[in-house]
Amino acid sequence: MPGVALPDDGLVVVLKQDCPTCRLVAPVLPGLGATVVSQDDPAFPPGVEVLDDTALDTSLALEIDVVPTLLRREGGRETARTEGWDRARWREIAGVADLGADLVDWKPGCGSRTHDPAVAEEVLVRTRGHELAARRVELAGLEDEAEALFDRGWTDGLPVVAPTPPRVLRMLAGTTRAPDEVVAVVPPNLVPATVEKVAINAVLAGCRPEYLPVVLAAVEAACDTEFNAHGLLATTWGAAPAVLVHGPVARRIGVNAGGNALGQGTRANSTIGRALQLVIRNVGGGRPGEVDRATLGQPGKVGLCFAEDEQGSPWEPLSVSRGVPAGASAVTVFAAEGVRGVVDQISRTPESLARTIAGALRGVAHPKLAGGFDATLVLSPEHLAVFADAGWDRARFTAALDELLLLAPEELARGADGIEEGMPSPRRARPKFRPGGLLVAVAGGGAGKFSAVIGGWVGGPGGSSPVTRVIEE
Amino acid sequence: MITTVLDPTDESRPASRTVGPRPGDLAGRTVGLLDIAKPRGDVFLDRLATLVAERGATVRRYAKPTFTKPMPADLRAEIAAECDVVIEALAD
């Protein structure tokens, strides 16, 4: 134990004046011959020589959890330990038959001062700070913290949480992965992002530590070459990476799949997608006006994250249809533009409602363009019930959409319907979406016959494909 | 109190801001002389004003209200907008 002066052989008692049990046992210490270590008051207990451990180095080295702790060391190793006051155990360890004859048989101890919230941050940095490799930046005393972080260009335009070493260490506790492990090579500058760098950006975004495994999986997925984050960033089109969370992790950490799932007000939804975007900005160097050339952009570029309502849906989860084992947690990252609502409060048959939804999906990018842009459909519970009650499963529903979205060449041709935009000389019917180009997820509140279309970007090898990753926890 | 934060970026840019590049000469440039309001700073700056003007620069004079406090933000913005180069007299 470096920096700690304890005898190789003998008894050690660790205590603090602030603990009633420690004060109870104080009278038995003179004559015990133990090394007495005080966590808070070097003058306590009176009548014995005390090793001052107000800096807590000895307590940390001994991993003291409770005070008082009595332990025996032999040949430099600990051979016995007891916590609190247990007269029989103290007599056994100390080898003194009548020890504490005047005291009660047993009294529980108090928490070690190493667990005191007032010193927890400092202790955390002292014991784990060496794991942090990122450059430390000092903000001057006169700088406003929020302003200083804006000034350094680290934010998306909204305030961020200052990534102090204690906060980043607490964030890292959310994963078992090593801080120096490289998660992904982040476009556009192709910079290796370590778990630590992702954790720093997760702090900036406002994430809780338990969100970190989801953020790490999202970063991995977004940096997959299939997803083509560089192209998605650089295009003048306004889409951005969105994160769909699957499996039990969503409920455990509180990713909203219910009312207002695509809106504000749920911390996990608001911060997980934001953390991914901040990684691309800060680590990858992808900033608006630089590599990000969006003509208009859209508000979801700050970050968009939601979960599929797997519990409320009789359908096979989207993750399972994409190859994730049932019951596993995963993320799907997909290109997303703004969210657009689809109203149908009248249809009670699946055939009718499917036609409504197909009509809305046809408008993605342009009603006369087919096979280029991907999209995601978010089906609300009331709309889903129309299909499920009629016995339609996910496969039947998507097959019906495929049929309805096979667009006639005369409708797509350039110049048709008085619109110059369109397909050049189409000779046959064309599917609106390429195979795999339409994701269907279930989410939303219990009331409202409204679903939503989230347009994407150019799909497939010439653009971006959705990428799903199982979450390592 | 100094707050320490961990750099969220790829660390390719310097952590602290650096001074701008030094101009090759002063001819035709606007040089701001900033008096921080310490005693006799004006004596030094008066002499500098003469020397700088001889080199073809336009001289503008500024003064902080007091040396005991940071420069007002408006004054900093005014100097940044009006000058190419700034010389600050720090000494007593």
Q: Which residue has the higher pLDDT, B74 or A222?
A: A222
Chain A residues with CB under 8 Å of B8 CB are: 134, 154, 163, 197, 200-201, 204, 278, 282-283
Confidence label for A378 from pLDDT (cuts 50, 70 and 90): very high
- Please say if the pLDDT value at position A109 is more than 90: yes
Mean pLDDT score of chain A: 95
Query: Which chain A residues have a beta carbon less than 8 Å from that of B7?
Result: 134-137, 200
Mean pLDDT of B76-91: 88
Separation of alpha carbons A74 and A76, rounded Å: 5
Indicate which of A124, A128, A135, A154 best probes the interface with B, i.e. most B CBs within 10 Å of its own CB. Answer: A135
**A254-313: pLDDT as tens digits:** 999 999 999 999 999 999 999 999 999 999 999 999 999 999 999 999 999 999 999 999
Residues 6+ apart with CB under 8 A from A340: A360, A363, A452, A453, A454, A455
Would you tell me which residues 160-189 of chain A have a C-beta closer than 8 angstroms to some C-beta of chain B? 162-165, 168, 189
Residue A111, pLDDT > 60, answer yes
Burial of A444 (0-12, 13-18, 19+ CB in 10 A): buried
Do residue A139 and residue B4 have CB atoms under 8 angstroms apart? yes
For residue A145, the chain B residue with the least C-alpha distance is B3
> In sequence order, what are the beta bridge partners of A12?
A35, A71
Looking up tokens 């279930």 gives A442
Entry pTM: 0.82
pLDDT in tens, A18-66: 999 999 999 999 989 999 999 999 999 998 999 999 999 999 999 999 9
Report residue A4's pLDDT band, with 50, 70 and 90 as the boundaries. Answer: low
Interchain contact, B3 vs A139, CB within 8 Å? yes
Beta bridge partners of A200: none
Query: Which residue did the predictor score with more confidence, B39 or A126?
Result: A126
Q: Where are the beta strands (DSSP E) in A40-181?
A: 50-52, 66-67, 69-74, 77-83, 85-86, 106-107, 110-111, 136-139
CA distance A174 to chain B (A): 18
Question: Which residues in chain A have their CB less than 8 angstroms from residue B10's CB?
Answer: 189, 191, 282-285
Question: A282 and B8: CB-CB below 8 Å?
Answer: yes
Q: Are A432 and A371 in contact (CB under 8 A)?
A: yes
Structure confidence at residue A313 (pLDDT): 96
Parallel/antiparallel/unpaired status of strands B58-63 and B30-35: parallel
DSSP H or E segment with residue A456: strand A450-458
Q: What is the pLDDT of residue A273?
A: 98
d(CA B6, CA A357): 47
Residue B11 has its nearest CB partner, among A135, A163, A278, at: A135
Question: Which residue type, as a one-letter code, is found at position A335?
Answer: A
Interface test with A, best of B2, B9, B12, B18 (most A CBs within 10 A): B9
Which residues of chain A make contact with B12, given a CB cutoff of 8 A? 189, 285
pLDDT tens-place string over residues A163-213: 999 999 999 999 999 999 999 999 999 999 999 999 999 999 999 999 999
Contact check, Cβ <8 Å, A164/B8: no
So what's the pLDDT on residue A140?
A: 83
> How far is it, in rounded angstroms, from Cα B87 to Cα B28?
16
How many alpha carbons fall within 13 Å on the CB side of residue A164?
14
List residues in chain B touching A: CB distance below 8 A: 1-12, 15, 70
ipTM above 0.90, yes or no: no
Q: Give the DSSP H or E segment for A198.
A: helix A195-205
Give the DSSP letter of residue A129.
G
Neighbours of B92 (CB within 10 A): 8
A191 in reach of chain B (CB within 8 A):
yes
Q: Which of residues 193-212 of A touch B (CB under 8 A)?
A: 196-197, 200-201, 204
Handedness of CA A207, A212, A218, A220 (dihedral sign): positive
Q: Is the pLDDT of residue B17 over 70?
A: no
Q: List the single residue in B with minimal CA-CA distance to A196.
A: B8
Residues forming a β-bridge with A110: A67
Residues of chain A with pLDDT > 90: what percent? Answer: 94
Q: Which residue is closest to B2 within chain A, CA to CA?
A: A141
Report the gap between the CA of B15 and the closest CA in chain A (Å): 6
Q: Which of A143-152, A425-434, B68-77 has the lowest mean pLDDT?
A: B68-77
Say if A124 is an interface residue toward chain B (CB within 8 Å): no
State the Cα–Cα distance between residues A150 and A345, nearest whole angstrom.
Answer: 45
Comparing alpha-carbon positions, the chain A residue that sits nearest to B7 is A135
Query: What's the CA gap between A459 and A438, in Å, rounded?
Result: 10
List of residues 6+ apart from A410 with CB closer than 8 A: A416
At B30-83, the pLDDT tens digits run 999 999 888 888 889 999 999 999 999 999 999 988 877 777 888 988 999 999
DSSP string, A389-444: HTT--HHHHHHHHHHHTEE-HHHHBTTGGG-S-SBSS--S-EESS-TT-EEEEE--
Supply A470's token pair. Answer: 């199982």
